[in-house]
Amino acid sequence: MAASDPNKLIAKADKLTRLSLTRWNADWRNATVLYEQAANGFRLAKDYEKAKIAFEKASKGQEMLSSPWDAAKHMESAAALAKELSNWREAADFYRKASELYMECDRPQPASDALGKGARALEDAMPEEAVQLYADACTILEEDGKEQMTFDLYRAASSVYIKLEKYTDAASVMLNLGLAADKCNATNSQCKAYLGAIIIYLYAHDFKQAQKCYNDCSQIDAFLSSDQSRCASKFLAAYTDGDVEEIKRIAQSSAVSHLDHVIIKLARKLPTGDVSGFKTATAEDDEQLDEDDLT
Amino acid sequence: MSVIDLLTRVDTICNKYDKYDVERHRESNLSGDDAFARLYATVDADIEALNQKAETASKEKGKASAVAINAEIRRTKARLLEEVPKLQKLAVKKVKGLSSQEFAARNDLVPALPERIQAIPDGTPAAPKQTGGWASSGSRPDIKFDSDGRFDDEYFQQTEESSRFRNEYEMRRIKQDQGLDVIVEGLDTLKDMAHDMNEELDRQVPLMDEIDTKVGQAASDLKNTNVRLKDTVIQLRSSRNFCIDIVLLIIILGIAAYLYNVLKK
């Protein structure tokens, strides 16, 4: 059976599914079997285009046979082949379809896995689409209550945003990570996420935002008493002092080295721009405070 | 009655009639008297020993051991100074068999003790003595220069040795700090790794539970299937059914052969 030409199998299967005068009901059962065989044959022959089409048809067949699980599996294979062919749009569509089929089976984990695979495949080619896929994957998992699995997805999404130089988006993704970690009581990941967000804001040279972020995060006890918050406060203090050497020294410290490598690269490049501007702004505040104290 | 019982009874009886033991009381009084003399003797012996130690300390070459001995001397001096008030109290007590001169002598001895204790050299330059010395030598200008010069020389020598000591101490401290820094880095990394492992394990726990339930389900399904299969196979291959099948087959073949023969004819 496997020896026969995949083309012939596809032709035969197509004949079975095409409705005509002699055939009133499409014979999906046999057709699906033939489509699967044809697809495997094409894959072995490294004919990715035809294999992809065969997988697509096999998936449709499985759907008709009301087995969404197999349909989803075939769709995923088709999407992987589309990725090989650098057919990004199609790959994205296939991965989404596969994820929907998995959700039909009531299995959110594989659904989000499918979206994650799609996002990883599209990271270089279509980064916006990739982050969209990551976001959808995280939503699925959070709805299912499995925030533990979202950490990796959030980290990957944030690194894609950083590559796109969309720093505010990246920082907000890190804050989402922190929120998810909070729900799972994963304090280490949470504190690292918050420190990462603060560093991203500093890299974007948005000192006010960084400070606001630090103040917000200090409301959380777990972060307040952690090494990461100490490191963050040292960063902010060094910025207010305008001490470039100090900033570089803190960036070499161990708390920063435990973060994601993308964020470590950002931290090593700090400070971006002129830090003396911050010094004067805060100095004025201090003077005002002193006057109040004297009176 | 056991030996222990005997001993306890004897002890209780002795304790009861102790107050009638006049001789013992007299002895204790005498020893009380001796208590002062004894304490005084011990303090005296201690002072002598300290003086000996001070001499060895001054002869010591190694700075560290000299410092240690001086510290020891200072500690003992403090202890002895605490004993002095006790002696004072004992001296005031009127004891039997003591002449009034001896009593007066005792009262004089006791105050002399603190001075003797303080006089033991323990490495600290006695500041009041020196200021007194300088004040007194202020009135004699010719002597002043010599003593000043001598003190300066001695001081200079000390600072040379002590500066070497200080340098060595600083070097060692810096090396220790460096080593500790390395350890800190390592421990930080370990802590981070441990935290991550913790979180990973927390993540795996619900997955393992799911696997557990699924495997349990699959195992029970398999058991069911096995039992049914066994039943079916037994039914199929039970020897009685087999024999019946074979016999019936033979009968059918026989009938067929008979019919064939009849038809051929």
Note the pLDDT of residue B191: 92
CA dist A61 and A35 (Å) reads: 8
Closest by CA position to A247, among listed A267, A229, A227: A267
Across all residues in chain B, what is the average pLDDT? 80
Mean pLDDT is lowest, of A130-139, B3-12, B77-86, for B77-86
Choose among A146, A188, A258: nearest Cβ to B199: A188
Q: Give the 3-state DSSP-derived string for chain B, with helices as H, strands as E and coil as C.
A: CCHHHHHHHHHHHHHHCHHHCHHHHHHHHHHHHHHHHHHHHHHHHHHHHHHHHHHHHHHCCCHHHHHHHHHHHHHHHHHHHHHHHHHHHHHHCCCCCCCHHHHHHHHHHHHHHHHHHHHCCCCCCCHHHHHHHHHHHHCCHHHHHHHHHHHHHHHHHHHHHHHHHHHHHHHHHHHHHHHHHHHHHHHHHHHHHHHHHHHHHHHHHHHHHHHHHHHHHHHHHHHHHHHHHHHHHHHHHCHHHHHHHHHHHHHHHHHHHHHHHHHHC
Print burial letters for B123-152: b (CB count within 10 Å at least 16), e (below 16).
eeeeeeeeeeeeeebeeeeeeeeeeeeeee
B181–chain A Cβ distance below 8 A for any pair: no
- pLDDT tens across B189-224, in order? 999 999 999 999 988 998 899 999 999 999 999 999
pLDDT band, very low/low/confident/very high, at B134 (cuts 50, 70, 90): very low
Beta-carbon separation of A258 and B192 below 8 A: yes
Closest by CA position to B39, among listed B81, B84, B76: B84
Considering A234-238, B116-120, B181-185, the range whose residues carry the highest mean pLDDT is: B181-185
CA torsion A287-A288-A289-A291 (nearest 10°) is 90
Per the omega criterion (within 30 degrees of 0), is the bond before A271 cis? yes
Closest by CA position to A38, among listed A3, A73, A63, A81: A3
How far is residue B119 CA from its own chain's centroid? 37
- SS3 for A124? coil
CA Rg, chain A, in Å? 27
Distance linking the first and last C-alpha atoms of chain A:
96
Note the pLDDT of residue B132: 44
**Chain A neighbours among B 195-214 (CB < 8 Å)?**
195-196, 198-199, 202-203, 206
Q: Which helix (H) or strand (E) holds A134?
A: helix A127-144
Contact A191, A255 (CB under 8 A): no
Note the pLDDT of residue B64: 78
DSSP conformational letter for A125: T
- pLDDT tens across B86-109, in order? 888 877 776 666 677 777 777 777
Print burial letters for B87-97: b (CB count within 10 Å at least 16), e (below 16).
beebbeeebee
Contact A218, A247 (CB under 8 A): no
Beta-carbon separation of B195 and A188 below 8 A: yes
Residues of chain A with pLDDT under 50: 1-3, 282-286
Note the pLDDT of residue B137: 46
Which residues from A are below 8 Å from B206, CB to CB? Answer: 146, 148
CA dist A9 and A45 (Å) reads: 14
CA dist A283 and B57 (Å) reads: 59
Give one word for A278, left, alpha or beta, with left for phi > 0 and alpha for psi -120 to 50.
Answer: alpha
Say which residue, B26 or B21, is predicted with more confidence.
B21
- If one counts every other C-beta atom within 10 angstroms of the C-beta of residue B49, the result is 13
pTM (predicted TM-score): 0.60
- SS3 for A295? coil
Which residues from A are below 8 Å from B189, CB to CB? Answer: 254, 257-258
> Residue B127: is its pLDDT beyond 50?
no
> Residue B136: is its pLDDT beyond 50?
no
- Section B72-98 average pLDDT: 79
Question: By percentage, how much of chain B surpasses pLDDT 70?
Answer: 79
Note the pLDDT of residue A3: 46
Looking at the complex, report in whole angstroms how far the Cα of residue B229 sits from the nearest Cα belonging to chain A: 28
- SS3 for A293? helix
Domain ranges for chain B: 34-122, 206-264
Mutate to test the interface with B, among A109, A155, A226, A258 (most CBs of B within 10 A): A258
> A109 to chain B: nearest residue by CA?
B207
Note the pLDDT of residue B31: 53
Note the pLDDT of residue B18: 84
pLDDT band, very low/low/confident/very high, at B131 (cuts 50, 70, 90): very low
